[in-house]
Structure 1
Amino acid sequence: MYGYPYGYGYGYAPYGGFAPFGAFGYGGFPAGYGYSSAGVVSSAAAGAGAGAGADSACPAPPAERDESTLVLFDVDGTLTPARQKSTAEMRTFLHQLRKRVVVGIVGGSDFGKIKEQIGDDILDSFDYVFGENGLTAYKGSEQLGDDSFLAYLGEERMQELINFVLAYVAKLDIPVKRGTFVEWRNGMINVSPIGRDCSQAEREAFNEFDKGAGVRVAMKKAIEDKFGDAFGIQVSIGGQISMDVFPKGWTKVYCLRYLDAFDTIHFFGDKTYPGGNDYEIFECDRTIGHTVTSPDDTRAQCEELFF
């Protein structure tokens, strides 16, 4: 029977599907049930200490983790809700996963924003951390690379691109606009029709509105039609309110240049559809792609694959 520290377990919901840690009583399982390699079992078979971590029925983790396998995660919608912080349960789960395989994250946001979501100990908690699709790269505390969109494009072209974006946003007829429509990042610019200064409630409302209105899809097309071939750039939709604009090829696949040592790379992300910012790495022949719908779904799929 598998166990987790601090009294957390990984349980099944009463009607099927995985339940979050600790969601169903002590140890994370419905009353009287635990989880074994054979599935959901009664406490008589599993032992009363489901999820207690020190339970003698729980097999010890492998003496050595599989150093040839990397599990790479997107951040927003995969490890955390969009632009929110990771939970203690998720951090505990990732700690256990890291005992079995090498673990990394790759996000479209800059390193500072990813650190806000994952925690100040981010470089100690993951083997690899990639910000801005891998343009900022760390292996442990060692920085591997730091490339620049401005150096690629030049000041004159950068201003032309930003001016076009701001003019486009000015003409949009949408329910709410706030501020910071263009956010400068080292390896890209992030463009938001509503503005990144919106509240969490406004963010969620825009996301629902955009599903029907297709504001970001239309804006992505306009930018790529104007500058895609001329400037050698592309646009990926990510998160709930924005899109990233960057040089062609500087998708999340970019981070794979640092990962040649691995025989197997699993990637987990939520925006794996064409035009989403996880699509290229999800489809890449160097990765095994997994589409997730939430952080809980991420844990469920990892539990099935690696424990």
Structure 2
Amino acid sequence: KLQKLINFTLKYFSEITLPVKRGNFVEFRKVRCCMSALKLVNSYSFVFKGMLNLSPIGRSCSQAERDQFVVYDAEHKIREKFVKALLENFSDYGLNCVIGGQISVDVFPYGWDKTYCLQYVEKDFDVIHFFGDKTMPGGNDHAIFEDPRTIGHSVTSPADTMLQIEQVLKELQTVEN
């Protein structure tokens, strides 16, 4: 199954035209534990323990190339179309596919999105604020942004994040006083 997904991805990427393509189109990101990212069940199947990060331009791009891709992707919807193709072709895999960061798509098992952490955080906090830049439907922050256990904030940059955090802290201080 994994090889089929990777082959599809590489074929798809080979057939799209971008201003540049670099290397590292497929990256495994392991769950932080002693198990490996993939556990072989038999010679034909696997249990995935982490996520795939798939980048049409390649993670080896420079910052200037990354910036160029952001503009190109906004106009041509490269990642949006790729997510749609993944969901159409691998709907039976039990995987979620979302736009992540500036240059990639994240693929992970259902239930392993950013809301996964809330089961641990909500035990100790009555109010949880989440700040993210990909909060729109299909973005990798959308699930936790919309979760009823959080107060979601859409941000556009690190500076905007700081501004919004400072505003929330001011509001909290006003409520406490």
Q: What is the one-letter code of the residue matched to 1:210?
A: D
What is the SS of the residue equivalent to 2:9?
Answer: helix
- Tell me the amino acid that sits aligned with residue 169 of structure 1: F
Determine helix, strand or coil for the equivalent of 1:276.
coil
Pair 1:206 & 2:69 matched: yes
Alignment pair present for 1:181 and 2:25: yes
Deviation at 1:297, TM superposition (A): 1.5
Cα RMSD of the aligned pairs, angstroms, is: 1.0
Q: How does 1:28-67 map to 2 (within 5 A)?
A: none
Give the match for residue 16 of structure 2: 172
- The superposition leaves residues 97-156 of structure 1 with CA deviations (integer Å, 9 ceiling, x where unpaired) of xxxxxxxxxxxxxxxxxxxxxxxxxxxxxxxxxxxxxxxxxxxxxxxxxxxxxxxxxxxx
Matched with 2:114 is 252
- TM-superposed CA distance for 1:260, in Å, is 2.9
1:299 aligns with 2:162: yes
What residue is the counterpart of 1:129 in the other structure?
none
Range moving further from structure 2, 280-289 or 250-259 = 250-259
Quote the Cα distance in structure 1 between the aligned partners of 2:147 and 2:10: 33
* Cα offset, 1:293, TM superposition: 1.4
- How far did 1:271 drift? 0.8
| 2:128 matches 1:265 | yes
C-alpha distance in 2, partners of 1:263/1:192?
37
Q: Which has the larger radius of gyration?
A: 1
Q: Which residue of 2 aligns with 1:225?
A: 88
Equivalences for 1:76-91 in 2 at 5 Å? none
- Aligned-partner Cα distance in 2 for 1:181–1:298: 29
- Distance in 2 separating the partners of 1:172 and 1:163: 15
Correspondent of 1:277 among 140, 149, 152: 140
> What TM-score comes out, normalization by structure 2 length?
0.81
Q: Where does structure 2 lack aligned partners over 5 or more consecutive residues?
A: 31-49, 171-177
Q: Secondary structure at the match of 2:111?
A: coil
Count of residue correspondences: 150
TM-score (norm 1): 0.48
1:242 and 2:111 equivalent? no
Higher helix share: 2
3-state SS of paired residue (1:178): coil
Partner SS for 2:116: helix
Separation (CA, whole Å) in 1 of partners of 2:21 and 2:162: 35
Structure 1 residue runs of 5 or longer lacking an equivalent are: 1-156
> In 1, Cα distance between the equivalents of 2:157 and 2:7?
36
Query: What CA distance in whole angstroms lies between the structure 2 residues aligned with 1:203 and 1:279?
Result: 22
> Which segments of structure 1 move beyond 2 Å, counting only runs of 4 or more?
none
Q: Give distance in 1, aligned partners of 2:161 and 2:167.
A: 10
